[in-house]
Amino acid sequence: MSYNLFLDDFRIPADGFNILGRNEYLKLKWVVVRSHNEFVDYILKNGMPDLISFDHDLADEHYAPPQFWDEKYNQWAEKKGFKEKTGMDSAKWLVEFCMDNKVSLPNYFVHSMNSAGRANIQGLLDNYSKFEKQNDKENS
């Protein structure tokens, strides 16, 4: 089954266009999941999507006060100790799933308005993508 997956607790895919300006948000059909658990369950039941768009903050507890809307966010989040999983947890799960099942990382966007969370997810996925490409070259 070919599909695109949009992970966000309240936005719709068209909102991704307003954030990133990418036409894919308007042109493609999306399956929307609202939590980490829905994300995992959907992939396990339906296979790997072609494209995933990640939000970071998936529950009210993830929204930091304005004074932490910068590089201080990671320190604030660590002290807070979230009960609900974030989009970063979903990205980590995805990387582990790809490694364990020897499947390629799908294409991805990170549409989160949380700049620190967005950078963390983007960095993780970019690094794994580089690792994957390097492994492909070495095994060819």
Closest CA to 39 of 64, 73, 66, 3: 3
**Does the pLDDT of residue 76 top 60, yes or no?**
no
CA atoms within 13 A on the CB side of 131: 13
CA–CA distance, 110 with 23 (Å, rounded to integer)? 14
Q: Indicate which CATH number applies to the domain containing 63.
A: 3.40.50
Share of the chain above pLDDT 70, in %: 82
* Number of independent structural domains in the chain: 1
* Strands of the chain, DSSP E: 4-7, 31-33, 51-54, 107-110
Closest CA to 128 of 101, 100, 92: 92
**Does the pLDDT of residue 1 top 80, yes or no?**
no
CA–CA distance, 4 with 6 (Å, rounded to integer)? 7
* N residues, the chain: 140
Average pLDDT, the chain: 89
**Does the pLDDT of residue 74 top 70, yes or no?**
no
Bridge partners, 5 (sequence order):
31, 52
Closest CA to 54 of 134, 102, 125: 125
CA–CA distance, 41 with 49 (Å, rounded to integer)? 12
Parent domain of 105: 4-138
Q: Which residue has the higher pLDDT, 66 or 118?
A: 118
pTM passes above 0.95: no
Closest CA to 31 of 45, 9, 49: 49
